[in-house]
């Protein structure tokens, strides 16, 4: 009946984790109890066999992962530490009462500001609206500039017509339009550009650009179209350019006549 008490000592006996007194007690019992001797022998065999159970090796990249984890942890700690220090220093730097007073003043100022802002909401709305429309305008310009680079002629024409919708064009847009006027391979695009630019002649740089482009145009269509625009504008400065155009030998006869007429009208 007592066997149960002794059995609890078995594992201690097997792995030599037992006090001398308990050991003696158990061994005395074993000498007299067959059942316990057999049980202990079985347990011991099992204990030994358990030692044969293999454990797989951890993979080699475990240490790499550990190093990475350690590095991340170190940086996190460093950040936390420096932030704490910074806060601490801020508090230590000045005597506390003035600091607290400053904080109070800041809070009051914020409160007042908030109140004042609420009162002036209408003004603020207007300001925001203006800012917003400015942003939209800027967006439009960017879009037009990008479209002017488009390989499709119809897209470029669309871009040019968009610019005529703009209330005010800035230097960048004008420059892009003039460059299209002079360099675009498609005559239709150039014609549309000329049409758009003729609406923008209030800008001096547009007028100058148009005059400069007279000499560069080789298509009769463009040449006569520019002549029309100059006549409409009564732009006397363009006469020089037209005279130079007349010097070209391969100038279309119809265009030659038209330009001569234009010059006589302008003078």
Partner 1 sequence: MNTLTDNAIMLKVKAGELDLMGLLFQRYHRQLYGFLFHMTYQKEASEDMVQQVFYKMLKYRASFAGTSEFVHWMYAIARNVLKDQGRKKKLTMAGIAVDELADVIPGGVEVNGQIERKQAAQTLQKAMAKLKEDDRDILSLSRFQELKHGEIAQIMNISEGAVKVRVHRAMCQLKEIYTRIER
What is the binding site for partner 1 (CB under 8 A)? 7-12, 15, 17, 42-43, 46-47, 49-59, 62-63, 65-67, 69-70, 73-74, 77
CB of 142 to partner 1, least distance (A): 49
Burial class (CB in 10 A: 0-12, 13-18, 19+), 160: buried
CB of 40 to partner 1, least distance (A): 11
CB of 89 to partner 1, least distance (A): 19
For partner 1, which is the closer residue by CB, 83 or 110?
Answer: 83
Among residues 80, 78, 7, the alpha carbon closest in space to that of 44 is found at: 7
- The rounded distance, in Å, linking the Cα atoms of 162 and 141 is 9
What is the enclosing helix (H) or strand (E) of 191?
helix 187-198
For partner 1, which is the closer residue by CB, 66 or 115?
Answer: 66
For partner 1, which is the closer residue by CB, 47 or 112?
Answer: 47
- The rounded distance, in Å, linking the Cα atoms of 9 and 13 is 6
- The rounded distance, in Å, linking the Cα atoms of 141 and 177 is 12
For partner 1, which is the closer residue by CB, 77 or 244?
Answer: 77
CB 233 within 8 A of CB 203: no
Residues making up the chain, counted from first to last: 267
- The rounded distance, in Å, linking the Cα atoms of 163 and 156 is 11
Q: First vs last Cα of the chain: how many Å apart?
A: 138
For partner 1, which is the closer residue by CB, 21 or 116?
Answer: 21
CB 200 within 8 A of CB 187: no
267, HSE (Cβ side, Cα atoms, 13 Å): 9
CB of 16 to partner 1, least distance (A): 9
For partner 1, which is the closer residue by CB, 63 or 170?
Answer: 63
CB of 30 to partner 1, least distance (A): 16
CB of 84 to partner 1, least distance (A): 14
């Amino acid at each position: 009946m007592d066997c149960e008490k002794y059995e609890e000592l078995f594992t201690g006996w097997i792995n030599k984790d037992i006090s001398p007194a308990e050991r003696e007690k158990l061994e005395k019992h074993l000498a007299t109890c067959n059942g316990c001797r057999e049980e202990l022998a079985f347990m011991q065999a099992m204990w030994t066999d358990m030692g044969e159970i293999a454990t797989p090796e951890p993979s080699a990249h475990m240490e790499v992962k550990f190093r990475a984890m350690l590095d991340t942890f170190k940086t996190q700690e460093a950040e936390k530490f420096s932030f704490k220090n910074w806060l601490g220093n801020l508090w230590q730097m000045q005597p506390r009462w003035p600091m607290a007073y400053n904080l109070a003043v800041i809070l009051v100022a914020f409160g007042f500001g908030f109140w004042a802002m609420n009162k002036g909401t209408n003004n603020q709305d207007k300001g925001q609206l203006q800012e917003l429309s400015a942003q939209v305008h800027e967006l439009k310009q960017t879009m037009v500039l990008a479209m002017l680079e488009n390989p499709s002629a119809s897209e470029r024409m669309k871009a040019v017509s968009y610019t005529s919708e703009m209330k005010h064009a800035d230097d960048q847009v004008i420059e892009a339009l003039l460059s299209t006027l002079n360099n675009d391979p498609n005559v239709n695009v150039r014609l549309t550009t000329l049409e758009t630019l003729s609406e923008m002649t209030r800008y001096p740089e547009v007028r100058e650009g148009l005059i400069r482009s007279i000499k560069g145009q080789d298509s009769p269509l463009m040449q006569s179209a520019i002549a029309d625009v100059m006549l409409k504008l009564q732009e006397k400065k363009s006469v020089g350019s037209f005279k130079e155009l007349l010097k070209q030998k391969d100038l279309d006869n119809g265009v030659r006549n038209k330009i001569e007429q234009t010059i006589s009208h302008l003078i």
